[in-house]
Structure 1
Amino acid sequence: MANPIPFLIESSASERGTLLCHMARANPQWRELAAVPECLVVFQGPQDYVTPSWYATKRETGKVVPTWNYATVHAWGKPAVIDDADWLRRQIESLTQAREASRPEPWQVDDAPAAFVAAQIKGIIGVEIPICRIEGKWKVSQNRPEPDRAGVAAGYREQGDAGIPMADLVVERGKPG
């Protein structure tokens, strides 16, 4: 079973870090996690189609095909289910702080009534996953010559805000070697 779940990483908790999250008790995934020796967490970065029309090589030789650019990280570890109100409170406070920090008036867990927060915490369960293996991979046109990479980055930028993260990766990480 797979679900999009926001994770935080506690870098000092293990050699490669420990992933921390929570989910609804109603989500059966936590029971599955409690029963497995290892799980995989996938962090999907930007990804997008590459049209051959962006390649300078198309105009020169015509020997081009479409492809897909992407960036991803896979982390494996043994999950531990945490059913502790204090741990859960700290986890939601940390996650809230991470997500609210850039807002002009960040919301804080203490902004909600204490009894309400306590009731909400009863409806969630925590998970810790010490990372035992981690792999990152990106395909960002690094196999293409510089004029093609420039065309790909420009093409992504023409898509507006949605294309900017991938355009930036092509420019920053797309150089061979």
Structure 2
Amino acid sequence: MLIHPWDAPRDDAEWQQWLAVHDFGQLAVNGPPGEPPYVQPLHFAYDAERGEVLTHLARPNPLWPALEASPVVVLSVVDDYAFVPGPWQADPPGPPEHGTPTSLYAAVQLRCDARIVDDPAEKAGLLNAQVGHFQPEGGSARAAVDEEPYGRLLSGIRGLRLEVTAVRAKFKYAGKKPDAVRERIAAGLADRDGPGDASARDHLLRRHGA
């Protein structure tokens, strides 16, 4: 992922706060020689203090042999994206039709060392941590070995602890454009109000005060 200086996060807090509420991504695992990577969509819980990602998958998932053979993985998360038509991007005083279309988006890629969790008690703890992240208000029973309602289901999954070893983050929101162009883009996103437009506009205003 190419990251220009004007698209880089201002500090770790920017991407960590974004990742805390964007907890669905794609896990990329090296495939066998001559084969493409495995890419698995999944929910996850990111623990910024420990630098760790918690998740789990069904035991029959074909990803496991590849993960055991090569435990270095990438978790990729992309969201808050929007298409920007060319005329919105045109630099003054040039004509609008000379503007170049582009995409706005936020992206975080976590390089991780994966550890598979098969111990039933550790799996139960991992599941409870995930549920605590997604359901902080409670309302669900806790997982425990040999206890209803989830104990009998533990054998059907394998847990994953992903130790984060490197991070690449990007907030591509017209960072190189002059204020007048950013203001035009922000107004266009507000008027269009399509899927993702409000979130993209919020980032643009937050980062640049357009």
Question: What is the CA-CA distance between 1:175 and the residue it aligns to?
Answer: 6.3
Q: Partner residue of 2:63?
A: 29
Structure 1 stretches lacking a partner, 5+ long: none
Separation in 2, partners of 1:175, 1:72? 20
RMSD: 2.6
Count of residues in correspondence between the two structures: 169
Structure 2 residue 202 is matched with structure 1 residue 155 = no
Highest relative contact order (Cα 8 Å, sep 6+), 1 or 2? Answer: 1
Q: 1:117 aligns with which of 137, 141, 150?
A: 150
Question: What is the CA-CA distance between 1:143 and the residue it aligns to?
Answer: 1.5
Q: Partner residue of 1:134?
A: 167
How do 1:46-61 residues align onto structure 2 when only pairs under 5 Å count?
46-55=80-89, 57=91, 61=95
Structure 2 residue 115 is matched with structure 1 residue 83 = no
Separation in 1, partners of 2:72, 2:161? 12
Separation in 2, partners of 1:56, 1:65? 7
Cα contact 2:53–2:164 (8 A) shared by 1: yes
Instruction: Flag the 1:59–1:51 CA change in 2: closer, same or farther, 3 A.
Output: farther
Question: What is the CA-CA distance between 1:97 and the residue it aligns to?
Answer: 1.8
TM-score (norm 1): 0.82
Structure 2 residue 99 is matched with structure 1 residue 64 = yes
TM-score (norm 2): 0.70
Instruction: Flag the 1:40–1:27 CA change in 2: closer, same or farther, 3 A.
Output: same
Separation in 1, partners of 2:115, 2:165? 13
Q: Secondary structure at the match of 1:121?
A: helix
Q: Partner residue of 1:146?
A: 179
Q: Secondary structure at the match of 2:61?
A: coil
Q: Secondary structure at the match of 2:149?
A: helix
